[in-house]
Every structure is written in C-alpha cells, then in structure tokens.
Structure 1
Amino acid sequence: MTSRHLLWSALGAAAILILIGGGWLWSLPPAPSVTPPLPIAQAERDATIAALKPPKRQRPLIAIIGINDATETTDYLMPYGILKRADVADVVTLATKPGPVTLFPVLKVEPQATTAEFDAQHPDGADYVIVPAMSRDDDPAALQWIRNQAARGAIVVGVCAGAKVVGDAGLLHGKRATTHWYSVKEIRGKHPTLRYVEDRRFVVDDRVATTTGISASMPISLTLIEAIAGRDKARAVGRDIGLPDWDARHESDEFTFTRPFALTAIGNTAAFWARERLGIELKDGVDEVSLALAADAWSRTYRSRAVTFAATADARQSRGGLRIHPEQVASDWPAERLLPSVADRRPADVLDETLHAITARYGARTTDFVAMQMEYPRNRAAQ
C-alpha cells in the first residue's frame, strides 16, 4: 500500500501522537453542532439535472478510473454497480496500468480495460468520467487521462476525496465544489479559487461534479440516472437498492473531527491484540455494491478487517460482470468471525444492517466512527 494508505490507516497512530502531545485533543468539540439544511429548491434541482444531461450519446458511455495500487473500494464499485443495474448507459471500469486494481481498504478486482485500451476503442472519449479517491492525488497517468477526457467533452465526477484528484487535474479552478469532510481544508488550501459549498452531498458546476464522502456515491449515481433516463427510472432503481428518495441535502456540520472520533481512533488502534479478520464468502453473482459497503464498513472499525474467501483462488464474477479475487482460499470460516451473506439484500439495507452489527460487536462509538469515515448521515437513511 502506498503513501497515505488513503488517510485512515494513519489516523489512529496520529491520534495517539496527539494524545501524547497534550491538550489539543481536549480542545476538540465533544460532539458536532448540527443545523439541518433547508430543502433543495426546485430550481436548483432542475439546474443540477440539466447540467448532468448526457453531453454526447443517447446511450452514454461512463468510465470509472482507478489506479492499480490503491483506489477506494466503495467509490469505485458503487457507481459501477448502480449504473449497471439501471442499464441506461454503457459502464466500464478502468485502470491506468494492466493488472488488477487493489481497492482500499479491502477487495481486489480486474478492471475491464486500461485507459490506453479505452482510448483506442473510444477516441472521442466518454460522456462521463467518475473519479474515486485514490492513494495519491497526483498520479501522472490518471491526471493526464482525466484532463484529456474533459477536453473531449466528458462530464467529470469526483467522488469523495476523488475531488482532490480532479483538482490536481486542474478542473476545479473557480468552480463550486465539495469533497469528503476531512479533505475540505486541504483542497481549499491547494485550490484557493475553489468555492466550497456547504450542506450539499454533491455539487455540479460547468461539467464538473463533486461529492462529499464515500456514501455520497449512491445519491450521485441515482442523480446521473435521472439526468440520463428521467426521474421515474431513477426512483425505480432507488427502490431496488433501498433508497426510495434522495436529494443533495447534507448536514455538513455533522461531520467534523470531534473528541469521541479521536478517542475511538486511539482506543481501537491501541487494542491491536483484539483485531479480528472477519470472513465474507465470495460467490459468483454477488452484488458488488452490497459487498463493497459491507466490506468497507467492517474494515474501517480499527478493530476488524473484512476478508473475502472462496474454495479456490479463481476470481468470482459479480452481478454486474466484474471479476473479484478472493483474498484467501478457504472452504469455510470460523462461525464466530463469519459475516452474513449479502445475497438478496438491498445495498442501502446492507449498510444499515452492517452498522447495527458493528454496534452490537464493538459499541456505538465505533459505529459512529465508521459512519463518519463514510460520511453517512445515519439519522436520514433515505438521503
């Protein structure tokens, strides 16, 4: 795993250093102060949908780019799975180099093409390019490819801290934007002309869209479906995945670095002797969105890591046609550390059920810690 290890692997160690260093920890707020955002005006909704209309094809082409050594699990898989389920566009996962993409914090998948292969097949470029969070924001191959796609007329969507990659590609100059709550200060410092927008899970400005943290890839995917195929189609897909209603509202004040967040990072990191490897059996036909949400959440507790296993080392094919590699070859897993199957469960329900299970296993503070990392508004499951 390279450089930052995508933020969270270093957070616990950093929090311990803060504790040792003294009083800064106790200056953190004990809890966020939340002011519910106002409803989205119809004119704003209409403008968002209009800005996301397919720029080229009647049936759009959507490319999701990743770098091979570390791309965020849910950012990469959730837009793919939801958009494939809708069947209103051609969707392809890419990597900058040949070979599998190692996702963070868990899973390894085979991309369907490299960026070079995509360019050879589609010299006129994609209609939409989705940019997840990556282990580095300045990968030269990824940045150049994103710039080229934007120049060819693609709408670029930076999911979560993928907004930082979009910014480093030079596409956020003077634009309204958002990102994961932890990255707001950094992105505003690097891109001083960017106009940060509070209380929105996603923002669209002049062919560039950005979202808040990981879980926001669900409503932005449904909003893309609405822009492509209409509100009724988006609602049907939303019901199918367990999100019957959504909009861009977001309580930004709910997500901030608080004392309980830091103390949970410290405590869970310090309890390294109690860390668990929890098994998820990997089967053909698995819903990649449900798998991503469950595996991602369990791997962010600092008490556990989800491990996919299968009886053979052969990659399994997901519901949407992706090849996912099992991490461990095993015919079974100890019952006390075996996670429930995600089969036949709606993805949004899987996330809620996983958070409830984390509470039962590790307590409510760990659940809040995970939800904060995923920027998931737990008090509004329909958002």
Structure 2
Amino acid sequence: MTSRRLLWSALGAVALLAIIGAGWLWSLPPAPSLTAQPPIAQAERDATVAALKPPKRQRPLVAIIGINDATETTDYLMPYGILRRADVADVIMLATKPGPVTLYPTLKVEPQATIAEFDAQHPDGADYVIVPAMSRDDDPEALQWIRGQSARGAIVIGVCVGAKVVGDAGLLHDRQATTHWYSVKELRGKHPTMRYVRDRRLVVDNRVATTTGITASMPMSLTLIEAIAGRDKARAVGREIGLPEWDARHDSDAFKFTRPFALTAIGNTAAFWSHEQLGIELKNGVDEVSLALITDAWSRTYRSQAVTFSRSAGAQQSRGGLRIIPDQVVANWPAARLLPASDAKPAEALDNALVGIAARYGTKTADFVAMQLEYPKRP
C-alpha cells in the first residue's frame, strides 16, 4: 500500500477481527509485567553519546521533517520543544510542501520552512535530521531528502515508527536498530539485513539512530543534548522537563499485543455512543511538549478525541516559537469535556494525563494508552 494507517486505526480493524474470531482473541497472552532492567554500562553509554556528537558545526543545526497530511504528533513536537528549551542547537521544523502540517492523532502546526527552502538556505545540510512516524513510509519527497541529508553527513534519527521511513530511505542496511514494538516484525521482514536490538530505547549505529515507541523521543532528546553540550546541561534540561535521570534501558517483553489490550480496543470501540470530543484551550506560550503528550494520550483511548480551541482566530505561538493552529474558535468549552491546560513539567503532564484517563475510563484504558505510547509508566 502507498499509505500507512495510524496505529490506533489499525488496531481498531484488528479489534473487529477479534470479535469474529474469539478463539484467536483468547489465544493472546495476558498482560506482561514490567521487569527492572540493569543499568546501561558506562562504556556503552559513553559510546552512544560519542556516536551522536555534532558532525559539522559547533552549534549544530537540527532539522525535523514531516509530511503535510499526517505526521505523528509527539514524534514531531517533542524533540523540537526539548531541544529549543535547551538552546544548544538551531532547530527548524520542516514540511515536504508549503502549508500546515496536520499531525495525528491530533493538532495542526505551521512548519517553519519547506525542505526546498531549507536546502536553499543550507546547501551543506543539517547536522541532525529527526524523522517522525508518518502516514506514508514511502513518501518519495521525504525519502529523497533524507537520503540527500545523510549523504551530506547528517546523523539521521528515526523516532518510533519513523524507523520505517529511515529504512525505506535505505539507511538501515547492515545496521543495528529498533522501533515501536508493534512494527518490529514488519521492519525486520522488510529490511532483513537490519539487526534488531532488544531492551534499548535508543540505538545508534554509523550515523543512524532509532528509538522505540513514541515516548522514547524524550530520553533520546536528552541524550542528544548531552552529546552536544555535556551531561550537566542535559541533566539541567531533564530536571526542567521532569526527567532528571534517564538512559537507554528498556524492557521489550513488557510491550506486546495482549488479550487485555485487544479487549480494551474492542470494548472502547464498540461503545460508540459514549465517544466524546474533549477540548483543551490553546494559548500563546503553551509548552508544545506538554500539549503534544496530553492531546496524544487522550486521543488514543478509543473513547475520546482531544481538540484545541482558542477564543480568537489565527495560530497561537508555543513556548518554543512554533505556531499551532486551533481546531475550533469558540469563547467557551463545556466544563464536563474540558481538559485542563497543564502547568506541570512535560514528563509529569503525561503521568497526570494517564491518571485522568484512568479516572474517566478506567485503569485498563490508561494501560492501553501507555502501551500504544510504549511508555514504561512510573510508579
């Protein structure tokens, strides 16, 4: 196919199949438990940081590419917001074509340049290219641009299922890599020379980095800050966003398609009469990382869709200078369906969103969302 459905849409289709084949449903494994993993050895950590050192400039240039019709919300916004907060690099949001980027499962933003404009301004290319998940892994303009940037010496970073885009660009041949748990089998099948690495949220091999699911872009961004500006700077930013300590450790066995996961998808999809649209007010200065995490999480419940609203027309500027377009222009939003704007640190905002989802729809739905985000929930 020339396009990829969103993970949550694909799972909805699987849910319908599960209704037909109950035997298959009950053959699925039960919910796994999260097992504490040993710390990453210092030598491995040092090697990862060294492999991500800026390849060209003392103050590196980071380009985050998206396609206009569908790029994953948190993959696109989180690295931008964290790196802009750190102020250790010049960061620019790109789109393959002019016009806004519609993110999935929620939000719409104005990119800061097209890939053609970027190439005209920076003929020597970026230091880093961050590739989010996209609705099409094989978008020809995106693939050609990513290959060109790699040839100019950029380090290419595939976030979550962005690894599939990186693979289709021909950059995973004979390299170690990882991706979102749901796409590991597909990625390995399509790129048989790729060597999958378990139990790591971030894998770097010969100027190509890949991560596990959506929330791994947070420790990835901090590791990139460490490579650019040192451990102390990365820790300071980590404290600001609510993640003072991090490394690449991961329990791959804790994330898989399970019976509770499928049953929640079926139950929440089937309860169509109780599906609801939840609003979050969009204001100038909003933290784009917290906004992305909150709206992404609430839009993956199969019970709700998060939308932004503003009291005035026109895009609102985020903390990091990104222009976000409200979904609706209204003076008020019904209090019962209002998501509070978060003043918490971004990592805490996600935890708070999962607590809110559990309170509204139950713990199984919160676990279902965390599994989609490949998020090892904190106690």
The TM-score with structure 2 as length reference comes to 0.98
SS at match of 1:237: helix
Q: Hey, what's the Cα distance between the residues in 1 that align with 2:165 and 2:13?
A: 25
- Listed one character per residue, the Cα deviations across residues 85-124 of structure 1 (whole Å, up to 9, x for unaligned) are 0000000000000000000000000000000000000000
Deviating above 6 A after TM superposition, structure 1's stretches of 4 or more consecutive aligned residues are none
Classify the secondary structure of the residue corresponding to 1:12: helix
| Residue pair 2:294, 2:353 contacting (<8 A) in 1 also | yes
Distance 1:55 1:35 in 2: 36
CA distance in 2, matches of 1:39, 1:284: 40
2:6 matched residue in structure 1: 6
Q: Identity over the aligned pairs, expressed in percent?
A: 80
Residue number in structure 1 paired with 2:99: 99
Report the equivalent of 2:113. 113
Equivalence map 1:209-248=2 (5 Å): 209-248=209-248
The equivalent residue for 1:174 is 174
**Matched residue SS, 1:23:** helix
| 1:52-201 alignment, distance < 5 Å | 52-201=52-201
Distance 1:156 1:341, change over 3 A: same
- Partner amino acid, structure 1, of 2:258: T
Contact 1:13 1:269 in 2 (8 A): no
Which stretches in structure 2 are left out of the alignment for 5+ residues? Answer: none
Alignment root-mean-square deviation, CA: 1.0
State the distance in 2 between where 1:283 and 1:49 align. Answer: 36
Is the CA contact 1:13–1:266 (under 8 Å) kept in the aligned structure 2? no
Instruction: Note if contact 2:4-2:137 (Cα within 8 Å) is conserved in structure 1.
Output: no
Whether 1:354 and 2:363 are equivalent positions in the alignment is no
TM-score by length of 1: 0.97
**Within 2, Cα distance between the matches of 1:301 and 1:317?**
28
2:366 aligns with: 367
Deviation at 1:341, TM superposition (A): 1.1
Q: Find the aligned partners of 1:261 and 1:227 in 2 and give their Cα distance.
A: 37
Residue in 2 aligned with 1:313? 313
2:3–2:137 Cα contact (<8 Å) kept:
no
State the shift of 1:33 in Å. Answer: 5.2
Q: CA deviation digits over 1:219-238, x for unaligned, max 9?
A: 00000000000000000000
1:359 aligned partner, one-letter code: A
2:339 match: secondary structure: coil
Counterpart CA distance in 1 for 2:51 and 2:216 is 18
Partners of 2:33 and 2:366 in 1: how far apart?
A: 19
1:329 aligns with 2:329: yes
Task: Report deviation, 1:35.
Answer: 4.1
Gaps in structure 1 of 5+ consecutive residues: none
Instruction: Encode CA deviations 1:314-367: one digit per residue, 9 max, x unaligned.
Output: 10000001110000111110001101112x321011000000000000000000
Q: What letter is aligned with 2:73?
A: T
Alpha-carbon shift at residue 37 of structure 1 (Å) = 2.4
| Aligned-pair CA distance for 1:7 | 2.2
Q: Over residues 152-186 of structure 1, what are the superposed CA-to-partner deviations in whole Å (9 max), with x where a residue is unaligned?
A: 00000000000000000000001010000000000
1:7-63 CA distance string (max 9 Å, x none): 212312321212212311111001225443221000000000000000000000000
Post-superposition CA distance 1:238-283 (Å, at most 9, x none):
0000000000000111000000000000000001110011010000
- Give 1:127 deviation, angstroms: 0.1
C-alpha distance in structure 2 between counterparts of 1:159 and 1:105, whole Å: 16
Aligned to 1:260: 260
